[in-house]
Structure 1
Amino acid sequence: MEPKQAVAALGALAHEHRLAAYRLLVEAGPEGLPAGVIAERLGTPSSTLTFHLQQLLQAGLVTQRRAGRQLLYAMAPASMNALVAYLTENCCGGEAACAPACGPAAQATRLRKTSAA
C-alpha cells in the first residue's frame, strides 16, 4: 500500500459513523449487508449513511454490489489487510518477537500462556 492510499483509508475511518459502519461490515464478512440493514443497526438515517458508505467506497475499504433493488456493501479484505500490513510493516524493527496481537492464532497463544502461568 502506498502512503497516499493509507492516508485515504485512515481518513475515511476517522469518523464515528464510518468507523461503526466499517466494523459492522467486518463483522458481517465478505457477504456484506444491505444499506438499509446497516442504517437500521446503526440508527443512522439512510441519506447520512449513504454519504459515509461512499467515503469508505472511495477509500477502497468496502465494495458495493446490487442485488435486485438493494445495494449491498461488504468490507474489502485485501484493502484491510494491506492497511494493517502497511501500519505494522516495521513493527519492533522487524523482530520476530513482535508478532501481531490479533487473530485466532495470537489469541490461542495468549490463552495458552495465561493457562500455563
Structure 2
Amino acid sequence: MEKAPALSKLTALSHEGRLDVFRLLVGAGGAGLNAGEIACALELKPNTLSAHLTVLSCANLITSQREGRNIRYFVEMSAMRGLLGYLMQDCCGGSPDICKPAIDALRDHRCP
C-alpha cells in the first residue's frame, strides 16, 4: 500500500462515529449489516449514518450490496489487512519478537 491510500483510510477512521461504524461492521463479519441495523445499533440519524458510510466507502474500507430496498454494508477485510500491513511493515527493526505481542493481540480477537 502506498502512503496516500493509507492516509485516506486513517483519515476516514479518525472520526468517532465512522470508527464506531467500521468496528461494528468488523464485528458483523461476512454477514454485514444493513443501514437500518447500523443506525439502530449506534443510535445514528439516517443522514449522519449516510455521511459516515460515504466517507468509509470512498476510503475503500467498506463495500455495499443492494438487497431489494435495503443496502447491506460489509467491511473490506483486504483493505483493513493492507492498512495494518502498511503500518507494521517496518516494525521490529529486524527483531520479529518485538511485534509478537501485537500479532498475538490480533490473533486473540479473531472471530470463531
TM-score normalised per structure 2:
0.89
Give the aligned residue type for 1:86.
Answer: Y
- How far has the Cα of 1:103 moved from its partner? 2.8
Structure 1's unaligned 5+ residue stretches are 108-117
Equivalent residue number for residue 51 of structure 1 = 51
* Bigger share in helix: 2
Detail structure 1 runs of 4+ shifted over 3 Å in the superposition: none
Q: 2:68 corresponds to which letter in structure 1?
A: G
Cα distance, 1:94 vs structure 2: 3.4
Give 2:72's aligned residue. Answer: 72
Measure the CA separation in 1 of the matches of 2:47 and 2:94: 44
Instruction: Assess, with a 3 A threshold, how the Cα gap between structure 1 residues 96 and 52 changes in structure 2: closer, same or farther.
Output: same
> What residue in structure 2 maps to residue 114 of structure 1?
none
Q: How does the TM-score come out when normalised to structure 1?
A: 0.86
Letter in 1 for 2:62: V
Mapping for residues 1-117 of structure 1, pairs under 5 Å:
1-97=1-97, 98-99=99-100, 100-104=103-107, 107=108
For the residue of structure 2 that corresponds to 1:60, the secondary structure is: coil
Q: Which amino acid aligns with 1:79?
A: A
Q: Match of 2:63, as an amino acid?
A: T
CA distance in 1, matches of 2:19, 2:74: 14
Question: Where does the alignment leave 5 or more consecutive residues of structure 2 unmatched?
Answer: none
C-alpha change, 1:94 and 1:66, in structure 2 (3 Å) is farther
SS at match of 1:93: helix
Q: Report how far residue 71 of structure 1 moved.
A: 0.6
SS at match of 1:9: helix
Q: Percent identity?
A: 42
